Structures are given as structure tokens and as C-alpha cells.
């Protein structure tokens, strides 16, 4: 794992950025690199090769889809909606997330589903837990999803729907969705069919975290619960296990980074208070002289 000698973030309520020395501290931002999602090219191309036997010339004609937005376009869309400074301890991961989300969204096999939404919402809420402003946290979420040309309300509603359903389940009922009827059961059946080859499905680590959250809320702690759920959904359990390990490691680094942020803010506040007290004493001494 990489290490850093400093942790930078924008001072709360200010547009300027400061750097906080943190010796021998692992960078959770660097560890976030391990959370990058596997992607394939988002450009569809075809080639036609014609060989002239006499001149041995090869003519290649390439056609590329050019109407898809770039990562820069998506980032710009985000900044247009939300242009206030974001502390770097949060912003660094947000920028990584939006890149990954963009690449997933514009894959030819992508299709939105509620488990994917639950996974993203879970990661976002973990990341932004403790953010200085609740209103800003909501605004950033809306700007992020809108930048990807999707509906933030749909993400939230679908995540809440799955969470409510999962809380009413247990390890046994959770994996029996194929034999039951219901709104969430239908969602899971659709995912299973698509992942099994009946339609477009693109596995991602957001999806893996969504599965983790469902199991967590259902209190399905038995090792076989994840195995059976993955089998029912036609998902490779090894991929899920690997991605959940990365997610847990990310959360650990995120907690460390936030603690450093709190310590820094507390230390700076103490220094400001001490300087203000010294200034007041000096002013009183001048007044009384």
C-alpha cells in the first residue's frame, strides 16, 4: 500500500486549500485506486481491411461512436451544478467515484438496477458521513447523479426500497426470492435472468456492495448466504468476495482519514482561540496603559 507524508483538504467554509502533515500514515486516497472498476472500451469500432496484392497496401476504415460524453464532460456537468469547495478528504474519493461511475454507465452492457443503486448509495453515505453540512451532502449527491444524466430520486427510492425489504428478510428467505412474488423479488429475478445471459448485465463493485448491504440488513451472516444469493443471481462469488475485501479496506482508510481531518480542525480551532485570546489581552493592556 502506498503511503503519503501529507493529507490536503479545503478549509471548511473557505476556497483555499491547506496541507496537513501526517507522518507514516497510509493514504486511503491511494488505496482507493484498488476500488477501480474493470471496464471495457466504451467506443464501438469496426474495421474493413482491403489488401492490394500488387502494392501490398492495407486500407483500414474505422468508425467510432463520438456522441458519448467523456469523463471530462461528466466532471464538468458536476461542477456546473455544484461549484462550492469540497474538502479534499472527500473530494478525492468523489472524483475517483465519478470516473468509475462514468465508465460503467457508458459501457454498452450497462443497465441500471436497484442493487447497483443501493451499492452506490451505501458507498456515498459512508464516504460523506460526518460531512460539515447536511444540505451540502444532499446537494452533492444530486449534482453527482445528475452529472451522469440519471435521476437522484430514483437512486434514493430504490435503495430505500431494497433496504426496507432486506430488513424483513433472514438468511433463508433472502435466497429464496426465485420462488416468491413481490416487487423486490421481481427486481432480483430480472437481474438473475440478465446476468444469466438473457439480456444486458454488467457486474461492478457497486453491485457487490449492494449485495453486501442486503445481507447485512437481513442479518444473514452465514457464509453460505452470500454463496446462495450469488448463485441465485448468476453472479460469480469470487468476484464479489474480492470486491468486498477492497470495499472494507477502503472504509478502514476512510475512517483514518476522517479522524485526521477532525484532529486537524480541532487543532486549528485551538490555535485560533489562543491567538484571539492573546490579541484581546494585548488590546486590554494598551487600553489600560
Domain map of the chain by residue range?
Answer: 71-250
Quote the CA–CA distance of 238 and 56 in Å, as a whole number: 48
Lookup: cell for 199: 439480456
Helix axes 183-193, 152-167, angle to 10 degrees: 110
pLDDT tens-digit readout, 55-97: 443 333 333 445 899 999 999 999 999 999 998 888 988 999 9
pLDDT band at 148 (very low <50, low <70, confident <90, very high): very high
pLDDT for 198: 84
Q: What is the mean pLDDT of the chain?
A: 78
Q: Is 143 exposed, middle or buried (0-12, 13-18, 19+ CB in 10 A)?
A: buried
The helix/strand count (H/E) of the chain reads as: 11, 4
Name the range with the highest mean pLDDT among 10-19, 33-42, 52-61.
33-42
Backbone angles phi, psi at 269, to 5 degrees: -65, -40
pLDDT tens-digit readout, 98-133: 999 999 999 999 999 999 999 999 999 998 988 889
Pick from 128, 122, 225, 110: nearest CA to 172: 225
Quote the CA–CA distance of 74 and 148 in Å, as a whole number: 6
Pick from 125, 196, 121, 128: nearest CA to 162: 121
Lookup: cell for 160: 430505500
Lookup: cell for 248: 472494507
Higher per-residue confidence, 267 vs 213 = 213
Q: Averaged over 233-257, what is the pLDDT?
A: 85
pLDDT for 196: 93
Higher per-residue confidence, 118 vs 31 = 118
Amino acid at each position: 500500500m502506498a503511503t503519503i507524508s501529507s493529507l490536503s483538504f479545503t478549509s471548511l467554509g473557505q476556497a483555499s486549500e491547506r496541507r496537513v502533515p501526517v507522518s507514516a500514515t497510509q493514504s486511503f486516497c491511494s488505496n482507493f485506486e484498488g476500488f477501480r472498476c474493470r471496464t471495457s472500451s466504451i467506443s464501438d469500432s469496426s474495421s474493413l481491411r482491403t489488401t492490394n496484392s500488387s502494392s501490398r497496401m492495407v486500407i483500414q476504415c474505422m468508425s467510432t461512436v463520438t456522441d458519448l460524453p467523456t469523463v471530462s464532460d461528466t466532471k464538468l456537468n458536476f461542477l456546473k451544478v455544484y461549484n462550492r469547495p469540497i474538502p479534499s478528504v472527500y473530494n478525492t474519493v468523489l472524483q475517483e467515484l465519478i470516473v468509475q461511475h462514468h465508465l460503467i454507465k457508458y459501457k454498452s452492457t450497462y443497465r441500471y438496477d436497484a442493487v447497483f443503486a443501493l451499492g452506490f448509495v451505501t458507498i456515498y453515505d459512508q464516504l460523506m458521513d460526518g460531512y460539515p453540512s447536511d444540505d451540502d451532502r444532499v446537494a452533492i449527491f444530486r449534482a453527482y447523479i445528475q452529472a451522469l444524466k440519471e435521476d437522484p430520486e430514483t437512486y434514493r427510492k430504490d435503495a430505500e426500497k431494497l433496504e426496507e425489504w432486506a430488513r424483513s428478510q433472514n438468511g433463508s428467505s433472502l435466497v429464496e426470492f426465485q420462488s416468491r412474488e413481490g416487487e423486490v423479488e421481481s427486481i432480483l429475478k430480472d437481474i438473475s435472468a440478465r446476468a444469466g445471459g438473457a439480456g444486458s448485465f454488467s457486474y461492478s463493485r457497486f453491485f457487490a456492495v449492494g449485495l453486501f448491504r442486503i445481507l447485512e440488513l437481513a442479518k444473514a451472516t452465514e457464509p453460505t448466504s452470500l454463496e446462495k444469493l450469488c448463485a441465485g443471481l448468476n453472479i460469480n462469488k469470487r468476484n464479489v468476495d474480492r470486491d468486498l475485501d477492497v470495499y472494507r479496506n477502503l472504509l478502514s482508510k476512510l475512517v483514518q482519514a476522517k479522524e485526521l481531518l477532525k484532529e486537524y480542525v480541532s487543532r486549528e480551532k485551538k490555535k485560533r482561540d489562543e491567538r484571539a485570546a492573546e490579541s484581546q489581552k494585548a488590546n486590554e493592556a494598551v487600553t489600560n496603559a
